[in-house]
Amino acid sequence: MQILMMLALALAMSGLPFLFGTVYYMVADDYLLNYIANGSYGWEYSDHLVFIRMPLGWLLKTLYGITTSVNWYFVLFLLFTVLSFALLHLFVWRRTRSFVFLALSAFFNYMIVAHFLSFTVVSYLCAAAGFCALGCALKEGRSGLRWGFLCAALFLISFFMRRQAALVSILMYMPLLVVSVMRQGKKCLRQLLIPAAAAAALFLLALVYENVAYSSPEWKEYREYNSVRSEVVDNYFVNYEAVKEELNAIGIGRLDYSLLASWRYCEKPFFTKEILEKVSGISKKATTLQDRIAYTRQNLNLSMLPFLIAPLFLLAALFLTGKLKDKGFAVLNLLLIYGLIFAFAFIRLRFVMRVVMPTQLFGAYALVGFADPEGRGRRVLLVEAVSAVLIVLCSLQYLQYFQRINPVPRTYYQEAPLKDLTDEIAAHPETLYVFDASALSHVYYYGTPASQVKTTEVFRNVTRTGSWDSYSPRYYQQVSALLKDPDRLITGLVSEENIAYVTGGEAGEITGFYEEQTGKGCAKSKTEYPGTGFAVWRLREE
């Protein structure tokens, strides 16, 4: 009965955002993955989803093969969200017996669907639900076999969805799992061996399947190039002046470095794998301690402080109400959460919200795992209520911070003001429209309601100047039909005929690169789309 009630709560909180507005994906990557899976971006349904592992990609491809009238990517992720939060709500209730903390969990449920729906966040969510369900069961003396299988299944889903998120989750929940196993003893370990062995076997089968799926020479070459690319464009960029001499020595000038920093590198003969490796090495070597301190101070600033101390409020509430047990492990878990966040900012120099937010949020559930349902009276209710209000206020502060640094435009590409541009692209299938990476990802389709992403042909003649999907076999299949030389996309904007450049800015860097490479001048003309911030440029050699 309890699980049914929590499932109803999860359904209600996941459905509530649809009553107040349309649900959007948190980051642009989900849109591109959604379009790749449903065949809109690449001419066929695909299970090669780069970040999402092959088993989950295969499931999506199979579902889209059955029918494209359902947005399976969105439906599947929403289903994982509902089921995982049902387990987390049950976990919170059984560990605290507190309606206040349950309401706080429901608030987090709403926040995920309304503002932070993403394959990375859902990966964290599935892992958290699995580990919390297992930890709760072991603490209550229930069979580790059944709950071990549930945990293993959710962890595999998490891993297939986003490998890095699953691995970080293991660290976050390790103290809770250690305490839970200690409570049960050797009998528990024997029970957990069976689901652990089953999960390991499925994991190995999935790796074999994935290696076979990526075994063609084209996919191998892409993965090698993409691995090097991510080391350059996905990470911290040092100031050009600090590495000017080293870059010039390998043939990279200011303009080239600027193109890399803005994800415009689809010129394979120039931005080779070897060049990118050298740029990555130069950038990493030049990143000083002062750079790391400055980056950390910029991201872990005072505006983030209320959100960063939210788990501390939760731990204090559990302590003051007498519900906190295993205090040493709980404090260790809190320090581990903060340590991971500091590592993202200071060591990795990759402080992105889709990683930091779930680390904070689902780390809080790990802390609840150290609670026992004890303590009654007004004092308990008061402390819980005050703590919950503080955590909600901190979360809203975080939401304000997130929207300031990564605003969602909330514009659907088939509605005004982008409809005219969409109509032009659809009316000229013989023309390849090359978007700046940020223009396509963060403006053109980023505002599409997640529930309305459906199969469409509009993206078949659309590509980006650089993407984590560039130079994949899918990229060549799409672009080769419209370009003479798909490896030379940047200079092709000038040298080839049926190609147009779509940007929210100017075209000076593109024409400047062409002039540097060929020594020839460029003529430019543009068509503006008022209200969209877009212009379509036609670039031709003079």
182 in a domain, yes or no?
A: yes
Are residue 502 and residue 361 in the same domain, yes or no?
no
Q: What span, in angstroms and rounded, lies between the C-alpha atoms of 384 and 388?
A: 6
Considering its fold, how many domains does the chain have in total?
Answer: 2
In a domain, 257, yes or no: no
**Does residue 291 fall inside a structural domain?**
no
Is residue 203, in this structure, part of any structural domain at all?
yes
Are 76 and 99 in the same domain? Answer: yes
Q: What is the pLDDT of residue 403?
A: 64
- Are both 196 and 311 inside the same structural domain? yes
Between the alpha carbon of residue 353 and those of residues 296, 358, 360, 481, the distances in Å are: 14, 8, 10, 37
Whether the predicted pLDDT of 275 surpasses 60? yes
pLDDT of residue 414: 56
Q: Token pair 């960029």 is at which residue?
A: 237
Distance CA 341, CA 353 (A): 11
pLDDT of 363 strictly over 60:
yes
Q: 363: closest CA among 314, 403, 317?
A: 314
Of 378, 405, 432, the residue at which a domain comes to its end is: 405
Full domain range(s) for residue 42:
2-212+297-405
Residue written as token pair 């799926």: 213
340: in domain = yes
Residue 313: its pLDDT value, please? 81
Say how far apart CA 496 and CA 489 lie, in whole Å: 9
Sign of the dihedral through C-alpha 113, 119, 121, 126:
positive
Last residue of a domain, one of 342, 376, 405: 405
Is position 248 within any domain? no
**Residue 458 and residue 386 share a domain:** no
Confidence of residue 5 (pLDDT cuts 50, 70, 90): very high
| Cβ count within 10 A of residue 451 | 14
CB 220 within 8 A of CB 175: no
> Residue 509: pLDDT band by 50, 70, 90 thresholds?
very high
Task: Find which of 31-45, 69-83, 91-105, 441-455 is predicted with most confidence, using mean pLDDT.
Answer: 69-83
CB 487 within 8 A of CB 268: yes
Choosing from 405, 429, 461, the residue where a domain stops is 405
Quick check: is 413 in a domain? no
SS3 state of residue 143: coil
User: How confident is the prediction for the chain on average, in pLDDT?
Assistant: 86
Q: Same structural domain for residues 309 and 455?
A: no
pLDDT given at position 187: 72
SS3 505: coil
- Interval 176-181 mean pLDDT: 85
pLDDT tens digits for range 403-427: 665 555 555 555 666 778 888 888 9
Residue 376 pLDDT = 56
Instruction: Give dist(CA 4, CA 271) in Å, integer.
Output: 55
Residues 382 and 429 in one domain: no
Q: Are residues 377 and 474 in the same domain?
A: no
Give the three-state DSSP class for 431.
Answer: coil
Both 442 and 389 in a single domain?
Answer: no
Instruction: Assess whether 206 and 315 both reside in one domain.
Output: yes
Between 47 and 444, whose confidence is greater? Answer: 47
Question: Does the model's pTM come out above 0.85?
Answer: yes
One domain for residues 359 and 425: no
Please determine, for residue 351, whether its predicted confidence score (pLDDT) is greater than 90. Answer: no
Please list, in sequence order, all residues whose beta carbon lies within 8 angstroms of the beta carbon of residue 198, skipping any fewer than 6 positions away. 149, 152
Is 217 a member of any domain?
no
Q: What is the pLDDT of residues 77-103, one digit of tens each?
A: 999 999 999 999 999 999 888 888 888
- C-alpha distances out from residue 172 to 337, 360, 499, 507, Å: 7, 10, 48, 46
On whether both 400 and 436 belong to a single domain, the answer is no
336 and 481 housed in the same domain: no
